Amino acid sequence: MFLRLKDFLLFHKKKIIIAILLLIILILFIVAISVIKTWKSGTYKTTTFVSSKKDFSITLPDTLEMNIYTNESYDLLVKSVSNKNVIAVSAFDKIDSIYSFGDIINADKSHYIAQFQNVTNISDVSAGTLNKSSYNFHKYSFETNELYVEVYWVEFNNKYYIFDFANDKNSSIDLKSSINSILETLEFTLSN
């Protein structure tokens, strides 16, 4: 019986491979249609948040469950309604200084980290560019027992914008994985 099955498989090898390929294509087609229907049904809704001075905006997926709050210390403060996730953005005018931009960011990093206990995984300050917008940024990150924090400094139109993302490590809603896509939605107005 085993020889018959082996002979059958060898004889019909091409037909079996074609049938398997057609089945895979059919499955991929069904999955693609399902994704398109989900996307069109509005499952991926977003909300755009505009700064208090109306000089920039960011767009967040509604799955993050965040609302805007008014706070005079920040140009934009967005907090989760169900956990400790926070996005806080401050802006200040660029000033001439004897200190380099890198020194200013490192001083901010040292001051900010000193406000927390049990800080681990402190990164160096690194530079990069947001793909969509070509805005340059500098960033650093660190962790505490409860939070993962990423801080981005973006320079635009003679101002520094500091984006502070704090992700609640105990929440099922993951802000950390959305940081890059949120920053890609960053839009500045020129009336700054």
What per-residue confidence (pLDDT) applies to 192? 43
How far apart are alpha carbons 126 and 137 in whole angstroms?
8
> Does 182 score more than 70 pLDDT?
yes
Determine the pLDDT at residue 29.
85
Cα separation values, 42 from 29, 35, 37, 46, 188, Å? 21, 11, 9, 9, 26
Reply yes or no on whether the pLDDT at 60 is more than 50.
yes
What pLDDT does residue 157 have?
83
Task: Count CB-CB contacts under 10 A for residue 122.
Answer: 13
Which amino acid belongs to residue 52? S
Q: Quote the pLDDT of residue 43.
A: 55
How many C-beta neighbours within 10 Å does residue 114 have?
A: 9
Q: Is the pLDDT of residue 86 over 50?
A: yes
